Amino acid sequence: MVLLGFILVYGLVCGVQQTEGSISENRHSRDRSQDFESSEDVLEKEFFYPRRSKRAPVDNQQDKCSYTFIVPQQKVTGAICVNSKEPEAMLENRVNKQELELLNVELQKQKRQIETLQQLVEVDGGIVNEVKLLRKESRNMNSRVTQLYMQLLHEIIRKRDNALELAQMENRILNQTSQMQQLTSRYKDLEHKYQHLASLATNQSTLIAMLEEQCQSRPPPRHIPAAQPRSQPPPPSPPLSKPYQQPLLPRINNPISNEIQSDQKSPHVIPTMPTGTHSPSTTDKPSGPFKDCLQALEDGHTASGMYLVKPENANRLMQVWCDQRHDPGGWTVIQRRVDGSVNFFRNWETYKQGFGNIDGEYWLGLENIYWLTNQGNYKLLITLEDWSGRKVFAEYASFRLEPEADFYKLRVGRYHGNAGDSLTWHNGKQFTTLDRDHDVYTGNCAHYQKGGWWYNSCAHSNLNGVWYRGGHYRSRYQDGVYWAEFRGGAYSLKKVVMMIRPNPNTFH
């Protein structure tokens, strides 16, 4: 636009110069043809003496005369009639002046446009500078945003690391708490065993004195084996009356120190009396060994306590707890949970032999349960109690276990009770522990349920799980002592007892 303006100005200047040249030539020619005294005469002649058209000069007309008329000067008082035809020189002069004025006007417009363009260029230059500044600021902002984003990433990573460290610390605390609970449980267990041993020692001393008196007064009873010498005093802690001494850690496999098992090689068969239930009416009755607790009840032993049992066709003696008070009596307790003092997260061999305290929390042992339930038709009774004191029961018309070759597979019959059926789903399933996985789940249910049971995939009942205080518990898995049809899997029951009794009228 600036270049165009300069070109237009240059053209206008050239036109003006040409116009001035033509005007000067016309003046010279007019001066040669006519000689006027002043500019007023020229104007007067132009207005009052119209120009006539000149003819081309002819050589033969030089002789003709010329006439000059002098008109007196008059004052103009009225309208003046002016010849519309101006002299050509004046017309051209006026035209050239008008063109010059137009050119000047156009030139002024061009100058203004040039100034406007210059202002626009200056404004555009400022805008360009502002755009450059904005771009620079944008780059700075992008760099700052990138820095903040990197700081955010570092902060997120740091928080994740802190969360991992916190989780590790929580796991350590949980492990330490679990170890402390195990140690506390062991201490309570040992204290309970000590008290129990002291009580047994007192009872055994009394019983030995009574037996010696009976032996001196009459011949020995017929049911006592001949291999038992009366004159030989029993050891301070007879094996058949030993309380359970199995370590509480779940992975220790020590069948020699099993708490529930009696020494099968011991030749001494000393009858047991329940603690605090001694009476003269029962001292004359035979005290075992019995086939089961029902036989002991039928033999007149109506007090609940520890009895010596020897199943039929089994070359083994076992000490069991007989519940003679629960109607109709004669129940052999095979499992009991009351206070969480015994850890039930054990291995296969421990579950096979049994563990715990016979008058407290204990598991009779898979092998013992097998021999008991395979000497006839037995029914199973499970009593449950929650932390609000509500008691329910589940009874199964038949109950037995398959031998160890079939991994003590569970066989239960028809259900009856008010607790809901949470065991039939486990019917026909093999027993599973942490080191022997026989469930149908892809993993090991004992690992998640923290116990040993006839797991399916995994458990609708878990009576050998972790004993939690208070009922509802928080754990990663459902590993509490629960019966799903009674209070659900997230509720750990307060008391559980599993008992068996002969049932001659069994309908599978």
pLDDT (tens digit per residue) in 155-199:
999 898 898 888 888 888 988 888 888 888 888 888 878 887 887
Which percentage of the chain shows pLDDT scores above 70?
Answer: 67
Check pLDDT > 50 for residue 252: no
Buried b (16+ CB within 10 A) or exposed e, 352-381: bbbbbbbbbbbbbbbbbbbbbbbebbbbbb
Other beta carbons within 10 angstroms of residue 163's beta carbon come to 10
- Per residue in 342-352, pLDDT (tens digit) is 999 999 999 99
Supply the pLDDT for residue 126: 80
- Residue 144 is given by DSSP the state H
Q: List, for residues 21-68, the tens digit of each pLDDT value.
A: 555 555 554 554 444 444 445 445 554 454 554 455 545 545 567 667
Position 22 scores a pLDDT of 54
C-alpha 341/C-alpha 195 separation (Å) is 15
Integer CA distances (angstroms), 173 to 17, 23, 169, 177, 248, in order: 108, 117, 6, 6, 20
pLDDT single digits (tens) 87-132? 666 666 666 788 888 889 988 999 999 988 888 888 877 888 888 8
Evaluate the CA torsion angle 165, 167, 171, 173 in order and state its sign.
positive
Q: What is the pLDDT of residues 287-297, one digit of tens each?
A: 678 999 999 99
In terms of Cβ atoms closer than 10 Å to its own Cβ (0-12, 13-18, 19+), residue 164 is exposed
pLDDT band for position 406 (cuts 50, 70, 90) = very high
Sign of CA dihedral 443, 445, 451, 455: negative
Q: Are 230 and 211 in contact (CB under 8 A)?
A: yes
**pLDDT tens digits, one per residue of 319-344:** 999 999 998 999 999 999 999 999 99
Instruction: Report the distance separating Cα 462 and Cα 473, nearest Å.
Output: 14
Instruction: Report whether pLDDT(75) > 90.
Output: no
Q: Which of 76-80, 451-455, 503-507 has maximum average pLDDT?
A: 451-455
Residue type, 17: Q
Neighbours of 211 (CB within 10 A): 18
Query: What pLDDT sits at residue 6?
Result: 56
Cis peptide preceding 458, ω within 30 of 0:
yes
Cα(81)–Cα(431) distance, rounded to whole angstroms? 144
How much is the average pLDDT of 248-271? 35
| pLDDT recorded at residue 96 | 79
